Each structure stands twice: as C-alpha cells, then as structure tokens.
Amino acid sequence: MANMFAMILAIATLITGILWCLERFKQALARRWLSQQPGQLCAGAEVLIGNDVAVKVSHKPGWIESCASIFPVLLLVFIFRSFIFEPFQIPSGSMMPTLLVGDFILVEKFAYGIKDPITQTTLIKTGHPKRGDVVVFKYPPDPSLDYIKRVVGLPGDRVSYDPANKHVTVQPGCASGQDCAMALPITYSEFAPSDFVQTFNSADNSEVSSSFLRVLTDRQVDGCIRLAQRKESLDGVVHNVLTVPGQQDQLGIYYKQPGSSLAEWVVPQGEYFMMGDNRDNSADSRYWGFVPERNLVGKATAIWISFDKQEGKWPTGVRLSRIGGIH
C-alpha cells in the first residue's frame, strides 16, 4: 500500500506539474505578444487588446486551472514524504510498551540513505542502522507490508536468544563464523508487573486472537494475563521490554540458519536482525530471518499524535502525553 500511494502521489505530482508548466508557458507567450504590439496605438486600444488576450488565455476548463494550482502543494508533499519524513500508524502491539496501537509516528527517510521513492533503490548512502534503533522496513517475505522493530544485530553479529530467561546475547565480529569478539554488555533490570494485560478471544472459526489493555497494577481483570516489564540496555540504548510470565517461544518455528545452532543466528553482511519490544508477542527475525539493507525505509524518530484505541477498533480519545520522542 505504501508503494502504491507513493506511485499515485508521484503520478499526480507529474501530471499537475505538466499542467502548471503549460499554464506558465501560455502566460509568458501572452506577455511577450503584448510587449510586441505597436507603440502608436492609443491607450484605450492597448487596454482593449490586453483585455482581449487576457480573456483568450483564461478561457480554459476550470479543472485544468485547479489541477495546475495544487501542483506546488503536491510537490512539497512528495518531497517531504519521499526524502525527509513519512508518517506511519502503529497497527499492532509488537513494539509495546515503546509504541502502542494508535500511535502515529514520523520516520526519518534520509537516516540510512536517499532512496528512489518508487523502486526503493538507494541513490545516496547517508548512514547505517545502529543497535537499538527503531526502524521501519519492508517485511522480507512480503515487501508490500511495512514492519517496525528494533535493531538488535548488525552485519557480522552473532545473536543468541534464551527463550527461558528472555535474554539476548550479541557477539560482534562473527562474519566468518569463528573467533567472535566478546559479547556486548547487555544488561537487564528485574521483572516487575507492567500496566498492560493481554486478553484472548475465540472467533467462530476457533482461531484465538489477543489484544492488549492498559490496566493499573493495583487492579485485577479476570481472564487476562498481566505482562511483565523490565529495562534492557542494548549497546547503551535503554528501553523497556514486555514478556508473558511463564511463556516460552515456539522453538519449532524459529528460523534455522544453516550452520548455526537453534536460537542462534550470524547476521550476514548487508543484513540486520530485528526484534520487537513485546518479546513474546512479536513475529520478528527469530521466526523469519534477516532484513536486507535495501528493505530499510527509515528510522522512527517521534510520535506526532496518539489515539487511544484497540486493534481493529475506532479511537476513543487522544493520548497527548505520548507525543514526543521514541526511545
């Protein structure tokens, strides 16, 4: 959908730009014609000729003039959205508590390179993701979808995940698969009850769906699971992560990299390992593998508006307190 919108915006900008140029060209020809009229004509004749030409120039369908007039606005939107910042909506809870359903974020499009907005080909490289960055990217199994996760592993890192203790281990310099450097000092605080609970609902087709509610820790809600929260310090970036107490990952559906042990991955050159902050409710690199650099869209930098809503439902309010930076 994002690529389709970019293409529609590009086509609309092109068409209105052509109409805008034609209008300016016609006006320039009219002014040139008037300037070449004999100087002996009386003032009244010159005014008559000027009015006559003005009528002829302005005698065109109204939709052409309207389309030409919106070109500057479309051009500004196209440049801003394609190369500077693009707005995205958070549709799921995989990045809780950092990002909630209903958050609208701004993504810095030039953080990792200036790209062709249609083909996503990198035109100018401007940087690379760092561990801890929150990044929007094209979902590798289906590039028509935009995903947002946190960068955990860089090219050459060996990433391990302990599904029992919910710990991440990162060892840089493992591109060759041997002689890895010492592991990064990733630290964790103690678990504490979070303000979020997870509810489960059964549909008519027996599929079970879940949603998340904010419920203060001094309140009990029947039929819900209280999520646990702790701080994770990943290469100096401190952020909160959520887990489901007592739940372990489905190791049987983990992505198994050839030559690596289960729950261990060596990040290839030019690719990245991503994880969601809601660790037990995130379909990320643990399950489908790595994100190529060409799939990167940009770095999430700020929440510009946040609506109080549940997944698949209408908003019920505005969360002004969430407007600001992303950590």
Q: Cα dist. 170→96, 129, 148, 191, 285 in Å? A: 22, 16, 20, 21, 14
Burial annotation 92-120 (CB, 10 A radius, 16+ → b, else e): bbbbbbbbbbbbbbbbbbbbbbebebeeb
Residue positions annotated with a catalytic role: 94, 149
CA 135/CA 234 separation, integer angstroms: 15
Q: Cα dist. 97→5, 100, 191, 242 in Å? A: 29, 6, 14, 7
- Pull the structure tokens for residue 63: 């939709």
Question: What is the number of other CB atoms lying within 10 angstroms of the CB of residue 25?
Answer: 10
CA 186/CA 169 separation, integer angstroms: 7
Task: Tokens 């979902």: give the residue.
Answer: 139
